[in-house]
Amino acid sequence: MNVDSIKNGFVLDHIKAGCGMQIYRDLHLDEIDCPVAIIKNVPSKKMGKKDIIKIDADIELDLDILGYIDPGITVNVIRNDQKVEKKHLSLPEQLTGILKCKNPRCISSTEQELPQIFKLADKEKRVYRCLYCESAFKE
Amino acid sequence: MRSLIDIQELSVKEIDEMMDVADDIIANPKKYENACRGKKIATLFFEPSTRTRLSFEAAMYELGGNVLGFSEAQSSSASKGESVADTAKVVSCYADIIAMRHPKEGAPLVASMNATVPVINAGDGGHNHPTQTLADLLTIRREKGRVNNLTIGFCGDLKFGRTVHSLISALSRYTGIKVVLISPNELKLPGYIKSDVMDKNGMAYTETTDLMEVLPELDILYMTRVQGERFFSEEEYLRLRDSYILTPEKMACAKSDLAVLHPLPRVNEIAVGVDADPRACYFKQVLNGKYMRMALILKLLEVTV
């Protein structure tokens, strides 16, 4: 299967097989007017199978969302047909506007204009806590 | 400029220094009577708490300062829909320091992010209550002469009792503390406090549902009220309220130098008959709360005496 190489944009590599569509949606790639390719179940030495997303546009990528979804993803930055940077992601220390606190006693439940901010409390267990009430985020 | 939202924002050294100041205030009250002359504290109480509010106000008066504020949300602009952020900005124009009690968790943090004066969290829902913890720590130190190497029992509502959460969090940084958690299964300490605070800091603890089984080994017994307002069902509240009542008969099997603490108000979890026991320290704890609030106001206003 051939997918055209991209001139200026990003290649999201090492996506867990089957997660490509979720990332497509979470990054709102359906809302941008540019070529985007989702390649599923690509054979991988390291992962067995993986998904890859190619974005042929110099958009502003939210690396926090990507890092939160899967810190194992690598982001290759392409400029003028060349890979100029390879970014390894990690769980972000802070997430703003991505998760929503579900604690009805939290001040953010009544004051809607407050930004929803979560801090990484436990990297190993992937626990994020609300900045205001410290409730752990549950899926 | 610093605020106090969570007890963890203060280092052990800072807490110890504040306890030294509180001891000095107790020994030499005259020395401090004009320390905050010309300064004003705003007590913004969005839910009723006479005790904490009066403590802050008494603390400021004893430092020679003045007090303004409100004691329920209905008498503030919150009833007109004003945000906590706006309230904090507005009150910053009138007062030198703010003490805020709010039913919503995190409200004092939001206030501190928007105020231009220090904000003290005077209790936010079931979350934090750092100045109660300061009162508890001073009481422990004054009664036992130390905050290290103690066996401390927490009894009652350990699930919703924010004073318990804050005190355990503060004690986790002292050494040789053994915690005994005494509660009905329905009101056990939340798992995240055990994992994030106690386990992480290597704090020894045991859990039991039986007060009498552990009472003889305790140096401190921290009793708590089973709070009706934290329950969704009246029936549940009435069933659990009477679970753990401390009586003079039970006190007979405790250590002779036990110190009984309680953040107050009590409902019936400590029989009135216990009050005359010299080991009952909960009214001294109220007084200690005022002294620690005085020490805290001095610290946050950067006033040295």
Give the residue on A whose Cα is nearest the Cα of B102: A107
In three-state secondary structure terms, A112 is coil
Residue B196 has pLDDT above 90, yes or no: no
Which of B163 and B72 is assigned the larger pLDDT?
B163
ipTM score here? 0.86
CA distance B294 to B18: 9
Chain A interface test: which of B105, B162, B230, B232 (most A C-beta within 10 Å): B105
Report residues of chain A scoring pLDDT below 50: none
pLDDT digits (tens, 9 = 90+) for A75-99: 999 999 999 999 999 999 999 998 9
Chain B interface test: which of A132, A135, A137 (most B C-beta within 10 Å): A132
pLDDT digits (tens, 9 = 90+) for B40-85: 999 999 998 888 999 999 999 999 999 998 887 776 666 668 899 9
Percent of chain B clearing pLDDT 90 (strictly above): 77
pLDDT digits (tens, 9 = 90+) for B238-264: 776 666 889 999 999 999 999 999 999
Chain A / chain B CB contacts < 8 angstroms: 48
User: Of the candidates A121, A122, A133, which has its C-beta nearest B105's C-beta?
Assistant: A133
B150 pairs with which residues across the strands? B177
pLDDT at A122: 87
Tell me the domains of chain B and their CATH numbers.
7-129+289-300 (3.40.50.1370), 130-285 (3.40.50.1370)
Burial class (CB in 10 A: 0-12, 13-18, 19+), B234: exposed
Query: What does DSSP say about strands A127-130 and B40-45: parallel, antiparallel, or unpaired?
Result: unpaired
Q: What is the mean pLDDT of residues B36-41?
A: 98
Give the residue on B whose Cα is nearest the Cα of A113: B83
CA distance B147 to B141: 5
Q: What is the mean pLDDT of residues B99-109?
A: 96
Residue B29 has pLDDT above 80, yes or no: yes
Judged by CB atoms closer than 8 Å, whether chains meet at A132 and B109 is answered as yes
Burial class (CB in 10 A: 0-12, 13-18, 19+), B43: buried
Give the residue on A whose Cα is nearest the Cα of B108: A132
pLDDT at B23: 98
Q: What's the gap in Å between the CA of B133 and the closest CA on chain A?
A: 18
Q: Please name the residues in contact with B224: beta carbons below 8 A apart, sequence gap of 6 or more.
A: B154, B155, B156, B157, B158, B161, B163, B164, B262, B263, B269
What would the DSSP string read from start to end of B176-238? Answer: SEEEEEE--GGGPPPHHHIIIIIITTT-EEEEES-HHHHGGG-SEEEE----GGG-S-HHHHH
Return the closest-CA partner of residue A86 out of A2, A11, A8, A5: A11
Give the residue on A whose Cα is nearest the Cα of B110: A132
Judged by CB atoms closer than 8 Å, whether chains meet at A105 and B104 is answered as yes
pLDDT digits (tens, 9 = 90+) for B115-128: 999 999 999 988 88
The dotted CATH code for A9-88 is 3.30.70.140
Residues of A in contact with B230 (CB under 8 A): none
Return the closest-CA partner of residue B160 out of B203, B136, B128: B128
Q: Where are the domains of chain A?
A: 9-88, 94-130
Judged by CB atoms closer than 8 Å, whether chains meet at A134 and B105 is answered as yes
Q: What's the gap in Å between the CA of B17 and the closest CA on chain A?
A: 28
Percent of chain B clearing pLDDT 70 (strictly above): 95
Mean residue pLDDT of chain B comes to: 93
User: Of the candidates A111, A131, A135, which has its C-beta nearest B83's C-beta?
Assistant: A111
Residue B231 has pLDDT above 80, yes or no: no
Residues of B in contact with A122 (CB under 8 A): 196
User: Of the candidates A105, A130, A131, which has its C-beta nearest B125's C-beta?
Assistant: A105
Judged by CB atoms closer than 8 Å, whether chains meet at B107 and A108 is answered as no
Supply B64's token pair. Answer: 């020679």
Which of A4-8, B231-235, B276-280 is predicted least confidently?
B231-235
